[in-house]
Amino acid sequence: MDFDRPLSVVTPTLDGDVLAALARADMEFTGRQLARQVGRGSTAGVRRAADRLVAQGIVSRTAAGTSHLYRLNQRHIAAAWIEGLASLREQLIDRLRGSVAGWEQPARAAVLFGSVARGRATAGSDLDVLVIRRSGCDPDAETWRSQLLDLQRSATAWTGNDTRVIEYGEDELAAGSTEPLLEEALSDGIELHGSRRELRRLMRGRTS
């Protein structure tokens, strides 16, 4: 799934990008402003796409002097579906959090990081999840291994993106390995379970 262009799940055209931009912002845009929100295509191309969507009723257009203002028509029966598609990244984060929260063997922390966390993932991007195993948890225990495998398989099925679940124990953090990966998770990661503050505490113990 292309998280930067979520409506490409159903349409690869500029129309989908226009709908995503309008769905993410509950406000009106001129054609030029909308083109900046979309971030691809020409201003004229974005206006043409918006006008096509006006003809479908999903986008409203009002005159403002010599310009037009465009906005998602939230009363349209398709609006809820458009808004849902535009928020696929947020829905994925909620699903990941729910999955990790339900583990029989709790993790110390779990963090989504990398391009998906930054909102710049394409259909070819990996989905990276860092999981910190609690001290005393057997990394080879069947319950623990099955949880990690289920998370990996589920996230891939939900998105179509290859999922990498990267696992470390508290003791491994204290031993001082994988600092670049941990720093990346701390700088742009999204908390799925526990907190990045907890990871910082563990890392401070590693370097003290």
The answer to whether residues 22 and 72 touch, using CB atoms and an 8 Å cutoff, is yes
pLDDT in tens, 141-177: 999 999 999 999 999 999 999 999 999 888 877 665 5
CA gap 188, 208 in Å, rounded: 24
CA gap 167, 131 in Å, rounded: 5
pLDDT at 183 over 90: no
CATH numbers and ranges of domains, the chain: 6-85 (1.10.10.10), 88-207 (3.30.460.10)
3-state secondary structure of 109: strand
**Helix (H) or strand (E) run with residue 166 in it:** strand 163-169
pLDDT in tens, 115-132: 999 888 888 999 999 999
pLDDT at 79 over 80: yes
pLDDT at 67 over 60: yes
List for the chain the helix, strand, coil content (%; round to 5): 50, 20, 30
